[in-house]
Each structure stands twice: as C-alpha cells, then as structure tokens.
Amino acid sequence: MRTRVRGRRWRRNPLRRRSDVVVAWWAPAVVVLLFVGAPLVGAGAAWWTYTDGTGEWTRRTA
C-alpha cells in the first residue's frame, strides 16, 4: 500500500538547497518591487516637481 503525500513531497528532496529556495522567493519579490515601486517613485518625483514648479511660478507672478 502506497501512501499519498500531497504538497510536501518536494520538501523531502535532498537536492533542494536552501539557497535555491531563497532565490526562488527573491526573484518574484524583485519583480513585484519593480512593477509596484518604480511607478510609485515616478509618481512621487512628478508630484514633487509639479509642486515645486507651481510654487516658484506663484512667487514669480505675485
């Protein structure tokens, strides 16, 4: 009789190194940071530039 192991079979693999698991989780984290962080940084820089520019324009015209 064979027992079924669901979802945990890969954890008993002797060829699975800790560094492989770290890289496997590190890569998606970097991708998420690029797709989420880069637009946020861009939006923040645009907002900062816009507010700085409008303040300077207000000082010049007033």
Residues 2-24 have pLDDT tens digits of 556 565 566 677 777 888 888 88
What is the token pair recorded at 20? 């492989």
What is the token pair recorded at 35? 């797709």
Of residues 6 and 28, more confidence is placed in 28
Instruction: Choose among 6, 28, 26: nearest CA to 18.
Output: 26
Of residues 21 and 55, more confidence is placed in 21
Other Cβ atoms less than 10 A from the Cβ of 56: the count is 10
Contacts of 10 (CB under 8 A, 6+ apart): 16
- pLDDT of 60 above 60: yes
